[in-house]
Structure 1
């Protein structure tokens, strides 16, 4: 995952990218192997979290899932996902009917970017 290859990912490696690669590098102390590991972990965890969120009926458990995903997103520089999680948390506190469509879209975008980054 050299910087030159990162810049080619879907033509998006700047502020508009779903993952801030500078933040990712900072959080992993520039360790490329660790970057790859945490990206794989996020991709897997975020997909599992969305599946669990779709089936979970307990509001406290749903909030925990969203909160955990928010922290994971911030750790890899997926600020859009983290911001959507934060917004969803607020809506979930006031309504048990808060929809997750925006979260699903943000996670899908981040995971496509990760896939392109790791396979590209």
Structure 2
């Protein structure tokens, strides 16, 4: 990692009023995943944000349980890959009970929380 240009997402000074001091994305984990490459961190977060919005929207549609389960599984894997472990946990609950609407509502709130956090980092 370049000491002159540290990754912005690993900074402990990044403001976060969400859930006290717990961030929706584990930035240290993300930095390890990207080898501390700042540009790659930004690209991965941007791609994830778009994917999460799309998958979240699909989960609210009149989809079959099988489609809902597939979308939740995809979102769970993507969330784990960037360190959004709370979101991954919400998606996992949908995987186990794809016909229950309650976890979908919770997941949509978590998707917005993560996307808002990502947007604050990419400004």
- Report the TM range for the smaller structure's normalisation: 0.7 to 0.9
What is the TM-score normalised by the length of structure 1? 0.85
Find 2:80's aligned residue among 74, 79, 96. 74
What is the TM-score normalised by the length of structure 2? 0.83
Greater share of helix = 1
Stretches of structure 2 lacking an aligned partner (at least 5 in a row): 1-6
Find 1:97's aligned residue among 93, 97, 100. 100
CA distance in structure 2 between the aligned counterparts of 1:36 and 1:30, rounded to whole angstroms: 11
2:115 is the counterpart of 1:115: no
Find 2:26's aligned residue among 9, 20, 26. 20
Could you tell me whether the CA contact under 8 Å between 1:18 and 1:109 is conserved in 2?
yes
* Aligned-CA RMSD value: 1.9
Give the count of matched residue pairs. Answer: 114
CA distance in structure 2 between the aligned counterparts of 1:102 and 1:53, rounded to whole angstroms: 12
The runs of at least 4 aligned residues of structure 1 exceeding 2 Å deviation read 1-4, 6-12
Question: Quick one: structure 1 residues 15 and 75, their matched pair in 2 at CA, closer, same or farther if it must change by over 3 Å?
Answer: farther
**Quick one: higher RCO (CA 8 Å, sep 6+), 1 or 2?**
1
CA distance in structure 2 between the aligned counterparts of 1:72 and 1:38, rounded to whole angstroms: 10
Could you tell me whether the CA contact under 8 Å between 2:24 and 2:117 is conserved in 1?
yes
